[in-house]
Chain A
């Protein structure tokens, strides 16, 4: 849908006057930039071992230090950012598209369709997400794709509930009655009236879900169920760092900071977006 359609010229200028959006955009941009640069350049190889250089503290040569195999932490974080973003984007895309579609369907059809969708959500919610993700990856085997699937599946009911709740309040509005009086059917009303009105909520949820997906991927990798070696991932870096907590604390600090920056940036971005795409708030700013 067209978010841009709601906003006149000067959207970009207005966006950056919004503080949390600006900070969020900068932090998120940093992570994305690191990931993009890592595609063709990293200070050192993030994969090859160089044991003679192992466990060096941060220095001019290795700004974030090196790990127990002598790999450059900065390089690993850059490649890890790529990994986190891919997992986050794909998992949220799965959860958001399927979940929102189910929620819209439930709100439009009511009756047994709604019951079915909501009971399915309850069923999925009944399991702690991270435990179920562990179960799924244990069942299907560890790896990036399976962890994406596991995280994506757990985002489906989140978006389904959110979309159904928001869509139900829109369905109760008089402009829906007006559209029905104009002879529009459920599908058309959903696309033209309901979706644009719940889009801002869905986008905000998507950025937050993105942050949670990055956390979940780190968690799964920490447990050894996510991205497999030798590809670096933030979660596994934290796990490796545990062993050297007292000798080389910076090993835990930098991946931790990377996760924090990504999660905080996306949350702030979500908050800012919510304000910016609401046309009623837009004019006041």
Chain B
């Protein structure tokens, strides 16, 4: 889906018609149960060595999408395929084999490392659970070196390291199974700005070196632009626009992408003042999605049609697709 022509090899990750609803507790004893529609029909595909950035404001379902892609929770509808294999169908040894192909890096490097385990044990966790290789120690030392840590750090505990170093350890853990895909959920947003650049550079180098595919989730357009070739913009559980990063940020077609672009803080005060008037209203409730385009209420150019008919993703330029009637 992402590349214009479908390549012969199956993409590392493909989701089709992915939905995820969360049931809410009943408000009355026998009342109906509402549900939050966190992911609402998402189709993405990431080819081998590809990189897809997913941007959107908080609550748009991007982290849920990451967890669905990782098989950490089951989709309500739709399917997730890793290298052409349905994740929901795999179990036992086949699932273990499949799991080596995709790993994850979490947002908060303080919460994602067990404080009671040594660095060596943390980094080795995926191979201990999935492969039990004979060259365990070499593998761990190799990935530690690859992320810029020393093998001497093996016996230390996470609390002895800074946030940036901890995130490097988390990246080493994701690398140790030699995966084809790493899902990065806001990998630098918990880090100092000065450290962010180092980690982003590391991610770029590693992609080159190991031939990785990335699915990078971020609210920061600059981060996505720096690491990813392809970008998808999410709004209320749907992808509203996708395309090559360069194109999408230069000529955004969807009014929401345009608003996101202009929301990037810049030093020019004049710019900031104009942005304020840009997006009125708030994100609609996810329990009762409005009919038609979910963005219509905040959209500066919405027409009557937008409030009735859900826009589908359609090709609006070479490689660029948008879900907007007016794009």
Contact of A182 among B67, B99, B157 (CB under 8 A): B99
Contacts of A6 in B (CB 8 A): 116
Quick check: which of B21-29, B105-113, B275-283 contacts chain A, the rest being far away? B105-113
A-B interface contact total, Cβ < 8 Å: 66
| Interface residue A111 (Cβ < 8 Å from any Cβ of B) | no
Question: Does more than half of chain A's interface fall in helix, strand or loop, or is it mixed?
Answer: helix
**Inter-chain contact B113/A181, CB cutoff 8 Å:** no
- Which residues, 43 to 78 on B, are CB-close (under 8 Å) to A? 67, 70-72
- Given A173-B111, A279-B159: A178 and B125 interface contact (C-beta under 8 Å): yes
Contacts of B173 in A (CB 8 A): 178
Expressed in whole angstroms, the Cα–Cα distance for A181 and B106 within the complex equals 11
Contacts of B107 in A (CB 8 A): 174
**Inter-chain contact B157/A181, CB cutoff 8 Å:** no
Expressed in whole angstroms, the Cα–Cα distance for A180 and B103 within the complex equals 10
**Inter-chain contact B129/A183, CB cutoff 8 Å:** yes
Expressed in whole angstroms, the Cα–Cα distance for A183 and B94 within the complex equals 11
Contact of B112 among A175, A183, A196 (CB under 8 A): A175
**Inter-chain contact A196/B125, CB cutoff 8 Å:** no
Contacts of B103 in A (CB 8 A): 181-182
- Given A175-B111, A280-B159: A181 and B104 interface contact (C-beta under 8 Å): yes
Q: In the complex, what residue of chain B is closest to A279 when comparing beta carbons?
A: B157
| Interface residue A193 (Cβ < 8 Å from any Cβ of B) | yes
| Interface residue A197 (Cβ < 8 Å from any Cβ of B) | yes
CB distance from A239 to the nearest CB of B (A): 46
Contacts of A37 in B (CB 8 A): none
Q: In the complex, what residue of chain B is closest to A5 when comparing beta carbons?
A: B116
Contact of B115 among A179, A180, A279 (CB under 8 A): A279
Contacts of B70 in A (CB 8 A): 181
Contacts of B122 in A (CB 8 A): 175
Contacts of A197 in B (CB 8 A): 114-116
CB distance from A128 to the nearest CB of B (A): 32
CB distance from A11 to the nearest CB of B (A): 15
- Given A183-B129, A183-B130: A177 and B99 interface contact (C-beta under 8 Å): no
Contact of B116 among A181, A188, A279 (CB under 8 A): A279
| Interface residue A14 (Cβ < 8 Å from any Cβ of B) | no
CB distance from B131 to the nearest CB of A (A): 10
Expressed in whole angstroms, the Cα–Cα distance for A193 and B116 within the complex equals 8
| Interface residue B10 (Cβ < 8 Å from any Cβ of A) | no
Contacts of B126 in A (CB 8 A): 181-183
Expressed in whole angstroms, the Cα–Cα distance for A180 and B117 within the complex equals 16
- Given A174-B106, A175-B111: A182 and B125 interface contact (C-beta under 8 Å): yes
**Inter-chain contact B130/A174, CB cutoff 8 Å:** no
Q: Of A6, A173, A178, A180, which is in contact with the most chain B CB atoms at under 10 Å from its CB? A: A178
| Interface residue B33 (Cβ < 8 Å from any Cβ of A) | no
CB distance from B26 to the nearest CB of A (A): 16
Contacts of A174 in B (CB 8 A): 106-108, 111-112
Show 21 residue pairs from A and B whose CB-CB distance is below 8 angstroms, ordered by the A residue.
Answer: A6-B116, A173-B112, A174-B107, A174-B108, A174-B111, A174-B112, A175-B113, A177-B104, A177-B106, A178-B106, A178-B170, A179-B125, A181-B70, A181-B99, A182-B128, A182-B129, A183-B129, A184-B125, A184-B129, A188-B129, A279-B159
Partner-A contacts on B (CB < 8 A):
67, 70-72, 95-96, 99, 103-104, 106-108, 111-117, 122, 125-126, 128-130, 157, 159-160, 170, 173
